[in-house]
Structure 1
Amino acid sequence: MRYFDDIPDDYEAEIGTFALAAADVIEFAKAWDPQPFHTDPEAASKSPFGGLVASSAHIFAICTRLFFDFKDPIRVVAMLGKDKLRLPSPARAGTTLTYRTRCIDRRESESRPNVGIITLADTVTDDEGNVVLSQEVTLMVARRR
């Protein structure tokens, strides 16, 4: 478990990878974002995407799962916000996604001595190196003391 005190200014990590299977894309989308380019391979092939793509909500869920399954997890108390969220390329079914993060800001809390505040710049890329998600996430992180 990594606490605020364990996170250096130059912290970087590869959080994890996820194989984005077509069946998973369809199942998630049927429950949460039932647009044809997420749920129907034939309709998706005729869409501007030219094939089945994951819902943005699915990508967010994958990031959350990978973050909390990470072998060296950060002791998050709360997420304070997301900024600069971008989805520049579609996450295509059949690709493997890679989630990386790096610390871009770190400060002690002025009002709570038991936590610190960090901002992480996240990127998720596909097999070809295309960025499918980028964002900045501000987290309240527990301190060791």
Structure 2
Amino acid sequence: MTMQTRYFDDFELGEQWPIAETYEMTRDEIVSFAQKWDPQPFHVDEEAGKKSVYGTLTACGTHIQAVVLKLAQALPHETAVIGALGYDEIRFHKPACLDDVLSLTIECIEKRPSSSKPDRGVIKNRHTLVNQTGDTVFSQTTTLLIARKA
């Protein structure tokens, strides 16, 4: 099955895409990711996590951002992205804890055609990652350069 490609012209302000796929924060994944990228005790040692202010093992911030990118790949459409221009307003609202099940919603919050190149435009999306109880764990805005329809 071929996925529909969405272009700059197809985006609407306020449009939301709740991603059906979820991501479970398992012990093995939290520990292995953190051992390589952020080996703080509350990320790599379950007993240290229990004694920390979090009371459990938690995922590091880079891991959480990687989960957002992974879940975003489950959009039901392709996007004609030329390139990413930046991530802004990155916020860690709550820790992503052991056994959390995370889900992502993407919302179009800004849209503007390029002032110098008529074949493209800029889209800003808000990514919101929540846990199984609906608490926001992480949010960021992503600015993308996207092709216009020919």
Category of TM-score, reference length = shorter chain: over 0.9
Q: Give the % identical residues.
A: 37
Partner of 2:128: 123
Unmatched 5+ stretches in structure 2? none
Q: Tell me how far apart the structure 2 counterparts of residues 8 and 127 of structure 1 sit (CA, whole Å).
A: 28
* Aligned with residue 29 of structure 1, among 15, 34, 53: 34
RMSD: 1.2
Q: Which amino acid aligns with 1:137?
A: T
- The Cα of 1:135 is off from its aligned counterpart by 1.3
- The Cα of 1:74 is off from its aligned counterpart by 2.2
Corresponding residue SS for 1:69: coil
The answer to which of 59-68 and 32-41 deviates more is: 59-68
Partner of 2:12: 8
The answer on whether the counterparts of 1:67 and 1:73 sit within 8 Å (CA) in structure 2 is no
Deviations 1:51-84 (Å, cap 9, x if unpaired)? 0010110011111122223222322211112221
Q: Tell me how far apart the structure 2 counterparts of residues 90 and 139 of structure 1 sit (CA, whole Å).
A: 27
Taking structure 1 as the reference length, the TM-score comes to 0.93
Count of aligned pairs between the two proteins:
145
Partner of 2:78: 73
- The Cα of 1:120 is off from its aligned counterpart by 0.8
The answer on whether the counterparts of 1:29 and 1:55 sit within 8 Å (CA) in structure 2 is yes
Taking structure 2 as the reference length, the TM-score comes to 0.91
- The Cα of 1:137 is off from its aligned counterpart by 1.3
Partner of 2:48: 43
Q: Which amino acid aligns with 1:59?
A: I
Which aligned segments of 4 or more residues in structure 1 are displaced greater than 6 angstroms? none
